[in-house]
Amino acid sequence: MRYISLLFIIAMMWWSWSISKTPNLIPEDTHMGIQEDLKRVITDYIKENLPDVTEITFHKFWTETLRENKVKATFSYTFEEAGQDKPAASIGIAGYAILNRSREQNSAYDIWSLDELNVENNHIVFKDGSSISAHDGAASEAPANAETPPAEKPSETPDEK
C-alpha cells in the first residue's frame, strides 16, 4: 500500500509540474499591450465626451486568456467631474471587455477587435451634498442641517370625541 501511495504522489507531482510549465496561448507582452491600448481608448473616449473630466485613475486592470484568440480585460476606474451647471462628483466604473484576435495575413502585428464592452458596476460620490425635500419634489440648496417644519397634527376621528 505504501508503494501505491508513493506512486500516486509522484504521478500527481509530475502532472502538476507539467500543467504549470505549459506555454501560454497568448504571450505576456500581448496582454500588456492590450491593457495599455484599452486604457488609452477608455481615457480618450472619456475626455472626448466629457471635457470637464479630470483625474482619470485606473484602480484595477487585468487581462485573462479565454481561448487562443479571445481575451477578457477586466477594469475599474474613477474620474472627477465638475461642471458649471453640475455638482462636483467622483464617478467610478467597473466592467469588462471581450477582445478577439482578427486574422489578417498581411499584418506584422496582432490586431485585436473590441467586440463586447460590459459595465457591471458604477457609482457616484458627490463632493457637496444637497438636500431634497419631499413636499415640493425639487432639490433645495438649503444645508443638510437646516430645520424642517413640524408635521401637522392629524384631525380628530369620531371615536376620540
Q: Is residue 132 part of a domain?
A: no
Cell of 94: 467597473
Q: Would residue 135 count as lying in a domain?
A: no
Task: Decide if 154 is inside a domain.
Answer: no
CB burial string 43-72: b at 16+ within 10 A, e below:
eeebeeeeeebeeeeeeebebeeeeeebbe
In this structure, the number of other CB atoms found within 10 A of the CB of residue 147 comes to 6
Q: pLDDT (tens digit, 9 = 90+) per residue, 11-57? A: 999 888 887 777 777 778 888 888 898 899 888 988 888 887 888 88
Neighbours of 94 (CB within 10 A): 17
In the chain, the number of structural domains is 1
User: Is residue 57 one of the residues assigned to a domain?
Assistant: yes
- Choose from 16-25, 73-82, 99-108, 122-131 the range with maximum mean pLDDT: 73-82
Provide the pLDDT for residue 157: 52
In this structure, of 40-44, 73-77, 113-117, 151-155, the range with the lowest mean pLDDT score is: 151-155
In this prediction the pTM is 0.63
Give the model's pLDDT for residue 76: 92
pLDDT in tens, 60-72: 988 888 888 889 9
* Residue 161, domain member (yes or no): no
Asked whether residue 60 is assigned to any structural domain, the reply reads yes
Report whether pLDDT(131) > 80.
no
Parent domain of 44: 23-127
Q: Is residue 114 part of a domain?
A: yes
Cell of 18: 507539467
Per-residue pLDDT at 11: 92
pLDDT at 137: 53
pLDDT at residue 100 above 70? yes
Question: Across the chain, what does the average pLDDT equal?
Answer: 78
